[in-house]
Structure 1
Amino acid sequence: MLIDYKNATIYQDEQCILKDINFRADEGEFIYLIGKVGSGKSSLLKTFYCELDLDEAENAVVLDREIMKIKRKHIPELRREMGIIFQDFKLLHDRTVYNNLHFVLKATGWQKKDEINTRIDEVLEAVGMTGAKESLPHELSGGEQQRIAIARALLNKPKVIIADEPTGNLDPETAENIVALLKGITRTGTTVIMSTHNIPMLDKFPGIVYRCENSTLTEINNKNI
């Protein structure tokens, strides 16, 4: 089990965002979080990588760490075992694609130039962007930038990819291609947890579905959406 929450609760500014959260994620699963804006999807995702604290929980384990007890100095190590993808890409716009990826690898402890270059080539090939190495982000389309963001998330061979509305700024065709790419990543054993408003994708790319609604999190069947 990669993530296991039992009866967890999230508060922000003394307001209960989600209560009695029961959530599980195992190896190679493709998991959707759906719900209205403000329903708690992003808040839940942020607790997985300790950007936001849980307030209480019977059990809260992420990648073998009890995150209610984790020390701040150990959070970077936890995050290195994850890939995090955002709606707005968060690429460094003054650097080429290569230098965006190089920056992450150096920051996470990679030292050998040959190994760095090989890994960059591998992730760019995995997302179909081998020709973009020397491009600046603004020279790429939104879909291409999101592919680079996915490549960045793959660099350290994560056990879990957390994607917060990764298709929110994309046209329908590009969005479908991005979800197909993320779904394909699960075949390597990596788990993908994705928040989305793009409900038609749930039929095209089936997975486990959780709904955030009225401060609760419920696992649902696709047919009940």
Structure 2
Amino acid sequence: MLEIKNITKIYNPKHAQPLKALKGINLTFNAGEFICILGKSGSGKSTLLNILAGFDQPSSGEVLLNGKDISKFSGIEMADYRKDKIGFVFQDFQLLDHLSVFENVKIGLAMEASITKEKKDELVNDILYKVGLTKHADHKPSELSGGQKQRVSIARALVKQPDILIADEPTGALDSETSVEIMNLLKQISQSGKLVIVVTHDEEYAHMATEIVTLVDGM
């Protein structure tokens, strides 16, 4: 369970006009849910996403993962949280052009020193099958469509088997048909038992989620 209790985020708090990005957010998410955080630019949705992913800290409030406040984690604990619990999908894919699909996905296991090379290869092959990219394992990103690149990004986030998958505007660079395919894939991932949280500004795709959280001016 991921609980957000009275989270606020204030940028430049000592400034004459501080920016209040989040204003007392309270939310509860559970495993197996597909959550869409919907809002226009400047609504606070990306700020909330970064706090949930452990990339940023709230100004006040709590973010509880199974009862533990991640905002109180030490640097090492936060690094472990991001490594073990969170898979993050970027809007712009962030693939390495000189590496194959297989190698790009395997980067997701780079910090897993306790896993053998053989096991890593097995995990990569398994996740490529699940996202429908087995036949493209040896291809370079330049040979892929936008939708295929996003599938690689999702596979890289999932290969380490995190509890929570977070995606920042995963359909932002895709056409409408491909966007529906990616949202359906994310929904399938949630149905496997993972908590999937997606940020989007598009209401059409948000309605594919099991729950929609709408942010307006940080609330």
Quick one: distance in 2 between partners of 1:76 and 1:132?
31
Quick one: distance in 2 between partners of 1:64 and 1:135?
43
Quick one: distance in 1 between partners of 2:209 and 2:58?
29
Quick one: distance in 2 between partners of 1:199 and 1:134?
36
Shift of 1:63: 5.1
Mean alpha-carbon deviation: is it higher for 96-105 or for 136-145? 96-105
Secondary structure at 2:110 match in 1: helix
Write the mapping of 1:13-162 to structure 2, written as runs, cut at 5 A: 13-14=12-13, 15-57=19-61, 59-62=62-65, 64-79=67-82, 80-162=84-166
Secondary structure at 1:19 match in 2: strand
CA contact (8 A) 1:39 1:212 kept: yes
Counterpart for residue 219 of structure 1: none
Mean alpha-carbon deviation: is it higher for 44-53 or for 177-186? 44-53
Quick one: distance in 2 between partners of 1:110 and 1:179?
33
Counterpart for residue 220 of structure 1: none
Q: CA RMSD in A?
A: 1.4
TM-score, normalised to structure 2's length? 0.92
> CA 1:18–1:206 in structure 2 vs 1: closer, same or farther (change >3 Å)?
same
Deviations 1:188-216 (CA, angstroms, capped at 9, x unpaired): 1001100112211234x242111110221
Matched-pair identity in %: 35
* Structure 2: runs of 5+ lacking an equivalent: 14-18
Counterpart for residue 169 of structure 1: 173
Counterpart for residue 7 of structure 2: 8
Shift of 1:187: 1.3
* Structure 1: runs of 5+ lacking an equivalent: 217-225
Q: Which amino acid aligns with 2:131?
A: V
Q: Which amino acid aligns with 2:53?
A: Y
Counterpart for residue 215 of structure 2: 212
Quick one: distance in 2 between partners of 1:63 and 1:123?
26
Counterpart for residue 200 of structure 2: 196
Shift of 1:145: 0.3
CA contact (8 A) 1:48 1:62 kept: no
TM-score, normalised to structure 1's length? 0.90
Quick one: distance in 1 between partners of 2:218 and 2:107?
38
